[in-house]
């Protein structure tokens, strides 16, 4: 289990803590034992710096804050700003004493529980999902193992390096999809950035690079930026945000082309216009008879209509007015493309519902620019009509349409399909006890987890306040049940901070298979009934209809 591995890391850290404090004491003592001042101060700085990052990473925030004091003092020593020895030496001695007392007070089991924050434990994924390779370069072995485990939870394959030279040799011959690089190394305040600047010109392609560091100041960020940083996270790293960034940097999603409907009685001009738009990556459908526009409009569902003003049987203004009287077509952008120069006629065309008037002949780049701007607006409007504003998932209506379409395709291809309904447990109590902002974070966390853990062909929707739905094409009931059980376990491991406290949330889930329930209505009802059973049997579980409860 991932959770067991993480607890083992924390237990290892707690066992190593006395030795780490010994290292701090030895570095302090070495300042007066003939060791070159610069080397000794650098070692003291490194000890405080490492202890600060590790303590924060394992939830020991008081210990981390005290180590940060030592790090700051050691930094001043390096710069010669700490004053006479009689001033800073007692300060360091007193600080070490406080560190020891805080370590002695630390409740190890409690500290372990805090690290559940933002940890999403992921087990096996569908074999269709591509695993991206991430090179992780981190000096501290414990943090390296911890980060590697957590990044692996999100489906990445992680290759780790403890030394910059190891990383330098590997990356020159390797082909990672992304790099996670620590900025600070012993004696090298920007060691990670220095290595990336060195190896980047030698790489065959640009590799997305994320820097991590215990330093959040502007000089550190600039050093990373100048080394090609695509993102920067301050330790303790929010693992969910880190992996979300890695997913965005390693996923190349091609947007669907704009669909443009051209209505013009001049066939040659229509073909030239269509060719220009297709060369710009758009999809076109052309019509020379305006009286045939409505059937094509319903079938093609264009993002924009490009229309001539003067056509036999029906003018552009008349056709525009007729289109605007159709509820589903009211907001489709319409551009008039005409040689009409009369200002009154152009004004009348806009009054009838046209969005823009372009004069023939028009330069191809101007045509493409105008069409792109208005078609993009239409896509944004459609997206706002089909997606939930908070989570970005499909809304209830859009999810239902996707389910209808998915069932139709599954039946025609004789494939299986599963449908799941998810409901957050005790969500009202979360809002009442911790506030709506905390409830919103829970909703966003579940939405993000579902998007990242499911396949690209799966559909996820938010169908109510705390209700979600998942459509799993070409997926059997056992596979669906096991995947949802893994996501359920992962979600339950997330800790949500409220002040100095943390709380956890769970969900209940019901899933049904199309091969047992052959219609949308029956499938929906079966999943809903399975969800009800999940709630009745104690919540925080998946009930799969047609097989034994998934454990």
214 close to 184: Cβ distance less than 8 angstroms: yes
Output the six-digit token pair for 397: 């209506």
CATH 1.20.120.160 fits 2-114, yes or no: yes
Model pLDDT for residues 425-461, shown as the tens digit of each residue: 999 999 999 998 889 888 988 887 888 788 888 999 9
Domain coordinates in residue numbering, the chain: 2-114, 133-250, 259-385, 396-544
Query: What kind of architecture, by CATH, is found in domain 396-544?
Result: 2-Layer Sandwich (3.30)
Q: Which residues pair with 473 in a beta bridge?
A: 417
61 close to 70: Cβ distance less than 8 angstroms: no
Query: What kind of architecture, by CATH, is found in domain 259-385?
Result: 3-Layer(aba) Sandwich (3.40)
| Mean confidence (pLDDT) of the chain | 82
Annotate 133-176 with DSSP letters as a single string: EEEEE-SSHHHHHHHHHHHHHTT-EEEEESSHHHHHHHHHH---
- List, in order, residues 6 or more apart from 353 with CB less than 8 Å away: 320, 321, 323, 324, 334
State residue 233's pLDDT score: 93
Q: What CA–CA distances, in Å, run from 33 to 81, 91, 148, 524?
A: 21, 18, 39, 76
Residue 253, classified by CB atoms within 10 Å of its CB into exposed (0-12), middle (13-18) or buried (19+), is exposed
Give the integer Cα–Cα distance in Å for 213 and 216.
Answer: 7
State residue 123's pLDDT score: 34
CATH topology of domain 133-250: Rossmann fold (3.40.50)
Residue 109 above 70 pLDDT?
Answer: no
149 close to 8: Cβ distance less than 8 angstroms: no
State residue 347's pLDDT score: 73
Q: What's phi and psi for 421, nearest 5 deg? A: -120, 135
SS3 501: strand
Model pLDDT for residues 511-546, shown as the tens digit of each residue: 999 988 888 899 999 999 999 999 999 999 999 986
Give the integer Cα–Cα distance in Å for 192 and 182.
Answer: 6
State residue 150's pLDDT score: 67
Q: Do domains 133-250 and 396-544 have the same CATH topology?
A: no
- Helix 343-351, helix 316-324: angle, nearest 10: 20
CA neighbor of 17 nearest in space, from 29, 25, 186: 25
Q: What's phi and psi for 303, nearest 5 deg? A: -85, -20
Q: pTM of this prediction?
A: 0.53
């Amino acid at each position: 289990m991932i959770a067991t591995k993480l607890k083992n890391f924390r237990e290892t850290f707690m066992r190593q803590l006395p030795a780490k404090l010994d290292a701090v004491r030895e570095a302090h003592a070495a300042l007066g034992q003939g060791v070159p001042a610069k080397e000794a101060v650098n070692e003291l700085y490194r000890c405080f710096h490492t202890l600060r990052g590790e303590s924060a990473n394992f939830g020991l925030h008081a210990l981390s804050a005290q180590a940060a004091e030592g790090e700051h003092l050691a930094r001043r020593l390096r710069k010669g700003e700490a004053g006479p020895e009689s001033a800073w030496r007692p300060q360091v001695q007193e600080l070490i004493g406080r560190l020891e007392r805080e370590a002695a007070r630390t409740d190890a089991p409690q500290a372990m529980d805090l690290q559940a924050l933002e940890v999403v434990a992921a087990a096996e994924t569908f074999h269709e999902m591509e695993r991206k390779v991430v090179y992780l370069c981190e000096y501290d072995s414990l943090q390296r193992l911890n980060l590697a485990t957590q990044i692996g939870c999100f489906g990445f394959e992680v290759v780790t390096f403890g030394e910059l030279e190891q990383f330098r040799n590997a990356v020159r011959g390797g082909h990672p999809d992304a790099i996670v690089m620590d900025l600070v190394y012993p004696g090298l305040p920007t060691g990670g950035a220095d290595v990336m600047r060195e190896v980047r010109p030698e790489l065959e392609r640009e590799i997305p690079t994320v820097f991590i560091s215990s330093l959040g100041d502007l000089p550190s960020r600039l050093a990373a930026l100048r080394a090609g940083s695509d993102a920067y996270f301050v330790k303790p790293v929010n693992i969910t945000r880190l992996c979300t960034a890695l997913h965005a940097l390693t996923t190349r999603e091609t947007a669907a082309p704009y669909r443009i409907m051209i209505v013009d009685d001049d066939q040659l001009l229509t073909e030239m216009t269509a060719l220009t738009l297709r060369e710009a990556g758009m999809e076109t459908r052309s019509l020379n008879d305006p009286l045939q526009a409505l059937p094509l409009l319903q079938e093609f569902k264009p993002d924009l209509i490009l229309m001539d003003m003067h056509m036999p049987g029906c003018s552009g203004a008349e056709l525009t007015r007729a289109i605007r009287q159709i509820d589903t077509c009211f907001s489709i952008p319409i551009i008039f493309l005409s040689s009409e120069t009369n200002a009154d006629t152009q004004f009348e065309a806009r009054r009838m519902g046209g969005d823009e008037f372009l004069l023939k002949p028009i330069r191809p780049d101007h045509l493409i620019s105008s069409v792109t701007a208005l078609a993009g607006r239409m896509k944004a409007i459609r997206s706002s009509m089909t997606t939930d504003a908070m989570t970005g998932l499909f809304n209830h209506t859009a999810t239902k349409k996707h389910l209808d379409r998915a069932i139709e395709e599954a039946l025609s291809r004789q494939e299986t399909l599963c449908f799941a309904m998810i409901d957050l447990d005790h969500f009202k109590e979360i809002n009442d006890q911790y506030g709506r902002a905390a409830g919103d974070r829970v909703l966003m966390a579940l939405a993000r987890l579902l998007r990242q853990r499911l396949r690209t062909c799966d559909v996820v929707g938010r169908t109510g306040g705390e209700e979600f739905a998942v459509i799993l094409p070409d997926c059997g009931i056992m596979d669906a049940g096991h995947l949802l059980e893994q996501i359920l376990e992962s979600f339950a491991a997330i800790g949500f901070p409220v002040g100095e406290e943390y709380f956890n949330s769970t969900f209940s889930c019901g899933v049904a298979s199309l091969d047992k329930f052959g219609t949308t209505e029956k499938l929906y009802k079966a999943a809903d009934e399975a969800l009800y059973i999940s709630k009745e049997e104690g919540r925080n579980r998946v009930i799969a209809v047609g097989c034994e409860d998934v454990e």
